[in-house]
Amino acid sequence: MPTPKVAVLRPDDTRIDEAICYLQSLDVIPIADPMLTICSTGKRPRKAEYCIFTSTTGVELAVEHGWEPAGTTVCAVGRQTATALRGCGYSADVIPSTFTSTGLVEELADEVEGKTVEIARSAHGSDVLIQGLKEAGAAVHETHLYCLEHPSTAGRSVSLAIEGELDGILFSSPKTVDHFFEIATERDAVGPLQRELAETVIGAIGAPTARTVRKNGGSVDVVPDQADFNQLADTTVNRIRERQQ
């Protein structure tokens, strides 16, 4: 049975290194092709009664730029975001049982009426969180801590996918999907890519990422129960091996 080749598109920081190591532990060949470069805006969250973080990157940049949570109820979307807060010495007071923006809105809906809520995240977040909290009666402000661009070196995974050389692709955010298909569009290769993706196991880390894959004409084979990269990798590799049998 050939060793599977799996593309991993995580940001070009420690996360891509960790992803490579984890995939190697699963006895697959990782094809590292970072689709995201993080560009800090230099801003930090405003003071508010509630402060919401949606990513580890947001936490790290906020702390780096002097944010302090004194008197604030700190909310984290996802276990990894909560872990990042604790790693910086701060507690995560609210973690929704469903690790999504919708899950957090449901968690906070009964307690934020008349309260100030700061959302500290990338410049590419959906409106679900803002609209849901406003409908619950909160005064919402959003601070963009960073934006996401695709590195000029990105694209190896697109080439291999078109050539039918990949067994799986791990999409870890909607932006990685957008950048992946943007590269194919720039190369006038969306049609050939879509045909080959039908034979490739596609893993999406959560529902928003899966929707973005489908919006771009792809299909999704794997969405893990939790929005966790290791679970995404485990489930995708298992599906590949099932196909190989």
133-155 in b/e form (b: 16+ CB < 10 A) is beebebebebbbbbebebeeebb
Q: Given this model, what pLDDT does residue 80 score? A: 85
Region 203-228 average pLDDT: 93
Q: Given this model, what pLDDT does residue 112 score? A: 96
Helices (H), the chain: 14-25, 56-64, 79-87, 101-108, 128-135, 156-162, 174-186, 190-197, 207-215, 229-244
Q: What is the DSSP letter of 138?
A: -
54-81 in b/e form (b: 16+ CB < 10 A) is bbbbbbbbbbeeebebeebbbbbbbebb
With a cut of 80, say whether residue 1 has pLDDT above it: no
Which one is the CATH code of 39-148: 3.40.50.1100, 3.40.50.300, 3.20.20.210, 3.40.50.10090?
3.40.50.10090
Identify the CATH number of the domain defined by range 5-36+151-244. Answer: 3.40.50.10090
C-alpha span between 176 and 189 (Å, rounded):
17
With a cut of 90, say whether residue 227 has pLDDT above it: no
Give CATH 3.40.50.10090 domain extents, the chain. 5-36+151-244, 39-148
Region 36-60 average pLDDT: 94
Distance of CA 240 to the CA centre of its chain: 22
Q: What is the mean pLDDT of the chain?
A: 94
pLDDT in tens, 107-162: 899 999 999 999 999 998 888 899 999 999 999 999 999 998 889 899 999 999 99
pLDDT in tens, 61-110: 999 999 999 899 999 998 889 999 999 999 999 998 877 788 889 989 99
Region 46-63 average pLDDT: 95
Region 7-32 average pLDDT: 95
Distance of CA 43 to the CA centre of its chain: 21
